[in-house]
Chain A
């Protein structure tokens, strides 16, 4: 089955700086790659997603890039703010009924 690796496990950046989280996946048939933000005591919230027919997608301060050949995708957050502090998860999916395979998460800490 699919395996998703996520790095780093913890990332501390100064407020205003950029943060980058990277994920690799194992199954070349995966075609949907969402990113979730999870705050303490809450469920994961979708922040951005990308499909395998697109190389990059941007939504305000958040962007995701996908390299199908290398089987990796990355989350980029620019101009970080204190409210960006949370755990971020990447995931991959082949088809909806197979569910999402998640990475182990990145704890993003924004230092004031």
Chain B
């Protein structure tokens, strides 16, 4: 059983640029969530994708968007990067049949630095 894999592991971008982060969900999982974790803080929920559609969203602006593909992998896109977007971005997969309540499996994250 493979876990959640994210790419790239580290990324440096300039303010105003756009970035795409990628996630492959754990085998058998059909739901993907994205979280932003600032240094020294707990992860904050960005959004969740199920059956290729966003079905839940946290308090993040529209410049944070995503996609889920038929194989359940996912992308997180951030436009017009700001310095405060510097954080660890975590992808988590779950099985929606259990409404995500049998636990989320997290990847190791992408460390994004905006300069």
Contacts and interface: CB of A to CB of B under 8 A. Distances in A.
Contacts of B41: 104-105
A56 B109 CA distance: 31
A43 B89 CA distance: 10
A51 B50 CA distance: 23
A43 to B, nearest CB: 4
A96 B44 CA distance: 14
Interface string B15-36: 0000000000000000101010
- For the side of the interface on A, what is the size category? 20 to 34
Contact of B104 (A4, A31, A46, A105): A46
A57 B104 CA distance: 18
A102 B90 CA distance: 13
> A51, A95, A102: which has the most chain B beta carbons within 10 Å?
A102
Contact of A49 (B31, B55, B92, B103): B103
Contacts of B33: 99
Interface in B45-101: 45, 47-48, 50, 55-56, 58-59, 90, 92, 94, 96, 98-101
Contacts of A32: 101
- For the side of the interface on B, what is the size category? 20 to 34
B64 to A, nearest CB: 13
Contacts of A100: 35, 43, 45, 104
B92 to A, nearest CB: 8
A18 to B, nearest CB: 23
Interface in A1-41: 1, 4, 6, 31-32, 34, 36, 41
24 contacts: A6-B42, A31-B101, A43-B4, A44-B106, A49-B103, A89-B42, A91-B42, A93-B101, A96-B31, A96-B56, A96-B94, A96-B98, A96-B100, A99-B56, A99-B58, A100-B35, A100-B43, A100-B45, A100-B104, A102-B43, A102-B44, A104-B40, A104-B42, A105-B41
Interface of A: 1, 4, 6, 31-32, 34, 36, 41-46, 49, 51, 89, 91, 93, 95-105
The 3 closest A-B pairs by CB, nearest first: A96-B100, A99-B45, A102-B42
